[in-house]
Amino acid sequence: MEFVIRPEKQADIAAIAVVTRAAFDKTPNQGVDEERIVSELRKTGQLSISLVAEQGNDVIGHVAVSPVSISDGAANWYGLGPISVSPTCQRQGVGSALMKEALRLLQEQGASGCVVLGDPAYYSRFGFRPETGLTLPGVPAKYFQAISFEGRIPKGKVTYHQSFGA
């Protein structure tokens, strides 16, 4: 499967919403929550990285990265997600390509590290690991994972931007 990864453009916004809803169609709110999160992050200027996977002229995937706060004061940490791939294109390397490029850009921009909430089997492939001292309240520790780009893992409670509560 051939596709390119590139930064989102204004013209991609509607297609990103469609892909996000479709990717999360089996969740309780059928992707509406994830679509709203991306929209709110964009509106509030909190999308530090927003990449699309494009095949031909079609957006087939998207990843959002936004800043997070950590109670120990650690700076330059980010949260990856939501990440969405059109159901017809899943399990073909699109999500992995989006992940790798988002992490590469974070490192290039001088980020200290990144957290993600999700399946440990999937995200561990990219270097994410559960860290006992780094927590997201209400979430089982094995599903909340981190990767440090400079060696040190902060300790404390992670808070995502208020858009995640939208």
User: pLDDT in tens for each of the 166 residues of the chain?
Assistant: 899 999 999 999 999 999 999 998 876 665 568 999 999 999 999 999 999 999 999 999 999 999 999 999 999 999 999 999 999 999 999 999 999 999 999 999 999 999 999 999 999 999 999 998 999 999 999 999 999 999 889 999 999 999 887 5
pTM of the model: 0.94
At 122, list the tokens: 């999937």
CA separation for the pair 45, 30 (Å, rounded): 25
What six digits make up the tokens of 34?
């994830």
**CATH code that applies to domain 4-165:** 3.40.630.30
The CA distance from 101 to 83, in Å, is 12
Helix ranges (H only) for 24-128 are: 32-43, 94-108, 120-123
3-state secondary structure of 63: strand
